Structure 1
Amino acid sequence: MTHDRFEPHRASRLSADGPDEAVFPAVPEQNFHVRRMTLIALLVAAIVLPCLYVAAMAFSDLRAREADATDMTMRTVRVAEEHALKVFDMNETLDTRIVDLTEGLDDNGIRAREAAIHQKLRTMGGGYPQVAAVSVFGRDGALLVSSRFYPAPTVSIGERDDFIGLRDGRDLEHVSKVMTGHVAGEQVFNTGMERRAPDGTFAGVVSVALRPSYFDAFYRELLGGAGGMPMTMSLVRADGAVLAHYPRRPGEAAAIAADLPFAEAMRQGRRAGVTHMRSNLDDENVIAAFRHVGSYPVYVMCGYRASAMWAAWYRHLAVLILSIFTPSIALWCVIWLSLRRLSAEEEAWERWQAEASMRRSIESAYRQSRKMEALGTLVGSVAHDFNNLLMILSANVQIARRRGAPGLDRELSAMERALKSGQSLTRQLLGVARKQPLRNETVVLERWLPACRDLLRASLGAKVSLVMDIGSGIWPMRVDVAELELALINLAVNARDAMPNGGRFAVRATNITFRHEDGFPLTGDFVQISLEDTGAGMAPEVLARAFEPLFTTKSKGMGTGLGLPQVFAFCERSGGLAAIDSAVGAGTSVRLYLPRATAEPQIAGPVEARTEEHDAPHGLRILLVEDNEEVAAGTEALLQMMGHQVTCVFNADMALGLFNDAQARQARTGEPLPFDLVLSDIHMPGSLNGIDLAEAVTALDTQLPVILVTGYAEELDRARHVNVRVLSKPFDIALLEKLLQGIQRDLAQTGLVPATHHVE
């Protein structure tokens, strides 16, 4: 709990008059904070400023390299454009000369002059390294004459796209795609021109086959060398078909991808430009410059590999970092050593100051501990004595009920209500003092909580609305149901008092798992029950003391200061935790973390009717051990009214003496023991208590049932190890009667109580 924490620095700030002040005089505070902040500011500046400089220089260098790469690609692509333009202009001139040569001749006329035309074609095309073959095709695409062969082989291009395109007047097909030429017998692309008859109709095609390898060789020289160069060159038809590319790589694409910016620029008819894209020819990012070649459906493109640019930039950045950060690291080390020295000085200073406040801190913590211990002892003793008073009152009320008291029902009912209030108060007191025995059982919240709706509504009053949100699949819990119910009632009452004008009280439940790395004081599986109100909330100073016993902000007579402490103590003793969040005007939220049950809930089955084979059980011979005379008298009278024979002694020493005498008689005469049951309080004067008596009776092997009565949790834990029945004070008389009836039946069935035994 918050008030139990030992905070030496806080304790040292408490005023303490006495000799400590003279032994440990006050000294001026050292301003370590300012010195530390100054050194940290220098360290931050020594780190941030070089980093900013390096970042600015690196950014500037990257932009400069991008500009240089763009400029280089633009200059290179202009050279490639001029070269391609000269080649295509020469081809067009060559095509025109051949058309003029065959003008006025039909297919038969060309075949008739094949030898002469073949010789002229060899002369015209043989002097150009880029030309693989010059050919003339007829109206139907048949080869009429070629510079490569004489006589011309039987070849037809009537089904080829470039022939069909020229016949149909499509400009794009004046330059064909790369193919294996029928005439040239190698990889070529053709530049063609249609032939016209005297009447203007289509008469055939003149074709010049160009070698892509010629362009590859030129691009190699233009880019300056072998593989690994940062630039690439491409000759591309306007529809994206690649005519030439350098450097080539295995399995490269035959066309520019349609979704690239360069392909979009060609579709838009742009004549020149620069774009950034991921080339499908080179399979990497490039800065690409392109230009349209004259009036031909052809583009040249030069790409600068981004990877080469980035590699050069990284090398320059590495040199920059080394040159800047090498001296900076030395400065960082000096400042770091200064900070360590300052920390050592501060630690020594605080250690010296701690010696002056240590005694005051220890004394303060000791007083607080003794205060809480004394409070727990006082609360426990008062609650125990109060329980005895409640037992006297309860027993006498039951006696009056059983004897019949006409006209006193109203008064007896009022006394019973007062008894329940007193029992609730003692339960709270014992819970706060950690002396309330817990009766843990496995609870399924989804079935249990809705049954408490009416109880919570009664506690909240008519002005406060109740909202329940129970998630599905909530884990079962192992808790004391009565303590959980009391905790919910305490929180509902607090919420009602915080919302005098009405509001909303919400109850929610979820599963939650805490791990070591979460930093929460608990680990494992828990059920979180959240109870939230829309009330006035708590100020920070009130919130800090919310779980402190006997602390209350309610007016006199309205609160005991035990409600929230009972909630905290219940959760803590159940193996969980309670937490509270609140702010003025924002309401209050209390979260109960209760551990998940490892065993499944026990579901009571239907009770089968059975027929008693024995005579009705007779009264028991009960040894009542109780030090309080009035409690003993009331309990004895009740037991006798139930039909039992009672022998009463006032401490465990006397009871054990009776058992020893009875055993001695049994050994001499064989006479059975005079008792069927021992009903004993635990907390009694004398050398023995009730648990000692139960252990002694069990050790005598008498097989007598023993019922112990207690009001202390620690006694209850010990009693459970003796394997006896235990009732916690103040117990319900009806529960005791039911328990005795069960013992009667068990003893009658086992033959330990003769059927002829009667109690006078």
Structure 2
Amino acid sequence: MTQDRVDSPRASRLSHFSRDSAREQDDASFPVVPEQNFHVRRITLIALLVVAVVLPFAYVAAMAFTDLRSREADATDMTLRTVRVAEEHALKVFDMNEALNSRIVDLTEGLDDDGIRACEPTIHDKLRTMGGGYPQVAAVSIFGLEGALLASSRFYPVPVLSIGERADFVGIRDGNELEHVSKVMNGHVAGEQVFNMGVERKAADGSFAGVVSIALRPGYFDAFYRELLGGSNDTPMVMSLVRTDGAVLAHYPSGPRGPAELTPASPFAEAVAQGRRAGVVRMRSNLASGNLIVAFRHVGSYPVYVLCGYRTSAIWSAWYRHLSVLILSMFTPSIALWCVIWLSLRRLGAEEEAWERWQAEASMRRSVESAYRQSRKMEALGTLVGSVAHDFNNLLMILSANVQIVRRRGVGGVDRELSAMERALKSGQSLTRQLLGVARKQPLRTETLSLERWLPTCRELLRASLGAKVSLVIDSGVDTWPVRVDAAELELALINVAVNARDAMTNGGRFTVRASNVVFRHEDGFPLTGEFVQLSLEDTGAGMAPDVLARAFEPLFTTKSKGMGTGLGLPQVFAFCESSGGLAAIDSAIGAGTSVRLYLPRASAEPQSASPVEAGAQESDAPQGLRVLLVEDNQEVAAGTEALLQMMGHQVTCVFNADMALRLLDDARAKRADTGEPLPFDLVLSDIHMPGKLNGIDLAEAVLAFDTRLPVILVTGYAEELDRARHVNVRVLSKPFDIGLLEKLLEGIQHDLAPTDIDPATHPADS
């Protein structure tokens, strides 16, 4: 198998234009591009890339640093404001407790332990009245010289209870100011977790006589801190009420109740040791399980501090979220810009290498634009042709049917007139076929051909088209690949090119037909890629001028004298190649002849050998005529076809649209289901394009769905309808069809039907 490869310079010439005319149009359509300084462009792109990388990073770093400092400052400011409010609240509570303690001391002034026990009922009522109105107060108690409980707001009479060994009692007795506010403990009197605020009770001689203690609920402070921080458990802030030794009196968010202390070596402990009454420190809290920004304030003259902390983890979390948004919003376009610059650098090298091939690329672009314009012209022509083709084919069908009727009736003395009408019919059919082919609406009957065997069979046909003055050379090649095309359209294309070649060689010449295999690659610059068979049609005629060459494939364009050409020959060639999946190209120059090349794609299947036709094996059987349901909307076409079918010995029932035909068939099927009678038709012969809801293809699909076998033959003049009809798997005739071909199809259907399929009672005897 031989393969010819087409190089890029040669491929660039395979277009509708000659090289000279293409170059002229290049100059007219595309401005001259000045030379580029690739070195300067590369340096510029590198500098731009550096700036595009550095600036976003610098901006994000600066913004991130500023945002972090701003968030820390906001957190510090919030803790300072909050701790000031908490400090004022704690000061009011402790001052109120101090005043309450003073009132109780005044109440018991001059009474020793026995005296208090003697007045216990009165003292109990007063203690209950004084302490019961405050939610923070759990109990108010009076303890004696040895720590024994003398009176309480919670109990009467009081149980036997002593706090003589408790740290706050011992501390107050010994003058330790710190113990005036005790640690959190489980209060024996209050019956809940409390911390006590006590004062010394003195005897008449000024000696220590006992303690007055007010038990405060830590939960009261927890609730206040919760409201102060917004009432949410997931707040980033924490609040604490702490003694100067680090013992925690109240804390929010609250954890497990019990004695808790801050780390002795914490920055807060150092600040307390330095005597600082207020400030801000950073520390790790064992209560908050993390690092905090802590603002603290000393509560009046009491050994208590209020602390407000802001979790740095919350600051970092919010900062990370903002930073993520900043990075996403900043680096998404930046990455796109980096990619663009990087790709620009890569493309710059390729552009530098491809600079000298720019003209070839521009030429290819013009070729594509020209092909697009050609396709638009073909589309416009197809719209025009498609609108009249159906009616024109019907007119030809009317004329053809009536000519056949006259011939079959054996009318004498009109043979010459009938022959003239038949010649006119063939001319009309040929003209319609050319118009439909150019408009890409000609129904194609594709088959796999071996040009090696097929071309020699066209020799006589081409000789007749070329005339006696032109010699014919056919080189079908060796091991030429098969192609899948419409053989009739390929034959018509050869004839069209041959007729043009004959007219270009008025004094004689040589017409060469040569077939060869070619392979196009993408880098060849050809509009097609893959394996093709190149069919070269070359003449030695006068050639074409550039302006004529540019319009060679344009429909209805011709340089021949009026009445000598239609301008449809070369457009038919172009349309045929394109509809076959290939391309037609033409090269020509004045005095150098013309070369038309058809590129047809290689077929995947091998051509099939024609099987011998069995010669009339059933002729002696003489089958009976068929019952035909004719569906045709044109009354004259229907009348002519009906008359011909009747002359062939068939019964014909004619309806004028598919809707009526389907109702007729449905009624027959219903009757068959009730009575068992067979369908009254053996065949449906229908046009495709008809008025109504259904067309012929819809009717065929419905008929093929019947449980009874009923052959269908469709008739159309549109390629689109023909393609769909073939998918339905029915016999299809393209208008205008040969009456003899229809007769052969009917004979085949008669032979295919079994004798029992035809009801003798409903069929006439053969004539």
TM-score by length of 2: 0.51
Q: What is the CA–CA distance in structure 2 between the aligned matches of 1:371 and 1:494, rounded to whole Å?
A: 22
Correspondence list, 1:84-483, <5 A? 373-483=379-489
CA offset at residue 514 of structure 1? 2.3
Task: Give CA-to-partner distance per residue, 1:369-418, whole Å, 9 cap, x none.
Answer: 87654431111222222111111111111111111132222222222122
CA offset at residue 744 of structure 1? 0.4
Task: Give CA-to-partner distance per residue, 1:276-305, whole Å, 9 cap, x none.
Answer: xxxxxxxxxxxxxxxxxxxxxxxxxxxxxx
CA offset at residue 677 of structure 1? 0.3
The answer to whether residue 732 in structure 2 is matched with residue 753 in structure 1 is no
Q: What is the CA–CA distance in structure 2 between the aligned matches of 1:657 and 1:673, rounded to whole Å?
A: 13
Task: Give CA-to-partner distance per residue, 1:320-368, whole Å, 9 cap, x none.
Answer: xxxxxxxxxxxxxxxx99x98xx99xxxxxxxxxxxxxxxxxxx99999
Match 1:701 to one of 686, 703, 707: 707
Correspondence list, 1:680-759, <5 A? 680-748=686-754, 751-754=756-759, 758-759=763-764
Change (3 A) 1:608 1:551: closer
Change (3 A) 1:391 1:456: same
Change (3 A) 1:2 1:470: closer
Change (3 A) 1:665 1:508: same
SS at 2:560 equivalent:
coil
CA offset at residue 620 of structure 1? 0.4
Q: What is the CA–CA distance in structure 2 between the aligned matches of 1:501 and 1:406, rounded to whole Å?
A: 46
Tell me the residue number matched to 1:631.
637
Correspondence list, 1:500-649, <5 A? 500-608=506-614, 612=618, 615-649=621-655
Task: Give CA-to-partner distance per residue, 1:596-615, whole Å, 9 cap, x none.
Answer: 22222222333456854994
Change (3 A) 1:609 1:591: closer
Change (3 A) 1:366 1:441: closer
CA offset at residue 531 of structure 1? 0.4
Match 2:499 to one of 478, 493, 496: 493
Q: Is the Cα contact below 8 Å between 2:542 and 2:593 reproduced in 1?
A: yes
Change (3 A) 1:732 1:609: closer
CA offset at residue 757 of structure 1? 5.1
CA offset at residue 518 of structure 1? 2.8
CA offset at residue 593 of structure 1? 1.2
SS at 1:560 equivalent:
coil
Q: Is the Cα contact below 8 Å between 2:448 and 2:605 reproduced in 1?
A: yes
Q: What is the CA–CA distance in structure 1 between the aligned matches of 2:619 and 2:456, rounded to whole Å?
A: 42
SS at 2:753 equivalent:
helix
SS at 1:585 equivalent:
coil
Corresponding letter in the other structure for 1:524: G
SS at 1:685 equivalent:
coil
Task: Give CA-to-partner distance per residue, 1:557-584, whole Å, 9 cap, x none.
Answer: 1111111111111111111111111111
Q: What is the CA–CA distance in structure 2 between the aligned matches of 1:614 and 1:464, rounded to whole Å?
A: 50
Tell me the residue number matched to 2:94.
none
Q: Is the Cα contact below 8 Å between 1:694 and 1:706 reproduced in 2?
A: yes
Q: Is the Cα contact below 8 Å between 1:617 and 1:748 reproduced in 2?
A: no
CA offset at residue 33 of structure 1? 4.6
**Which runs of no fewer than 5 residues in structure 1 stay unpaired?**
15-28, 44-335, 345-363
Q: What is the CA–CA distance in structure 2 between the aligned matches of 1:451 and 1:415, rounded to whole Å?
A: 30
CA offset at residue 424 of structure 1? 1.1
Alignment RMSD, CA only? 3.6
Q: What is the CA–CA distance in structure 2 between the aligned matches of 1:409 and 1:447, rounded to whole Å?
A: 39
Change (3 A) 1:613 1:434: closer
Corresponding letter in the other structure for 2:484: R
Correspondence list, 1:18-29, <5 A? none
Q: What is the CA–CA distance in structure 1 between the aligned matches of 2:643 and 2:735, rounded to whole Å?
A: 18
Corresponding letter in the other structure for 2:582: G
CA offset at residue 686 of structure 1? 1.3
CA offset at residue 519 of structure 1? 2.7
Change (3 A) 1:648 1:556: same
CA offset at residue 756 of structure 1? 6.2
Corresponding letter in the other structure for 1:622: V
Q: Is the Cα contact below 8 Å between 1:495 and 1:505 reproduced in 2?
A: yes
Q: What is the CA–CA distance in structure 1 between the aligned matches of 2:371 and 2:612, rounded to whole Å?
A: 56
SS at 2:585 equivalent:
strand
SS at 1:437 equivalent:
coil
Tell me the residue number matched to 2:662.
656
The count of corresponding residues between Structure 1 and Structure 2 is 427
Change (3 A) 1:369 1:454: closer
Q: Is the Cα contact below 8 Å between 1:748 and 1:755 reproduced in 2?
A: no
Q: What is the CA–CA distance in structure 2 between the aligned matches of 1:635 and 1:425, rounded to whole Å?
A: 23
Task: Give CA-to-partner distance per residue, 1:181-211, whole Å, 9 cap, x none.
Answer: xxxxxxxxxxxxxxxxxxxxxxxxxxxxxxx
Q: Is the Cα contact below 8 Å between 2:515 and 2:535 reproduced in 1?
A: yes
Task: Give CA-to-partner distance per residue, 1:658-693, whole Å, 9 cap, x none.
Answer: 112112212222222111000001111111111011
CA offset at residue 503 of structure 1? 1.3
TM-score by length of 1: 0.52
Corresponding letter in the other structure for 2:510: R
Change (3 A) 1:482 1:32: closer
SS at 1:721 equivalent:
helix
Corresponding letter in the other structure for 1:495: A
Match 2:678 to one of 652, 665, 672: 672
SS at 2:390 equivalent:
helix
CA offset at residue 525 of structure 1? 2.4
SS at 2:559 equivalent:
coil
Change (3 A) 1:42 1:499: farther
CA offset at residue 755 of structure 1? 5.5
Q: Is the Cα contact below 8 Å between 1:540 and 1:583 reproduced in 2?
A: yes
Q: Is the Cα contact below 8 Å between 1:614 and 1:748 reproduced in 2?
A: no
Corresponding letter in the other structure for 2:514: R
Corresponding letter in the other structure for 2:402: N
**Which runs of no fewer than 5 residues in structure 2 stay unpaired?**
1-14, 42-343, 353-369
SS at 1:505 equivalent:
strand
Q: What is the CA–CA distance in structure 2 between the aligned matches of 1:670 and 1:589, rounded to whole Å?
A: 68
Corresponding letter in the other structure for 1:411: E
Change (3 A) 1:452 1:369: closer
Q: Is the Cα contact below 8 Å between 1:618 and 1:757 reproduced in 2?
A: no
Corresponding letter in the other structure for 1:719: A
Q: Is the Cα contact below 8 Å between 1:615 and 1:755 reproduced in 2?
A: no
Corresponding letter in the other structure for 1:582: S
SS at 1:557 equivalent:
coil
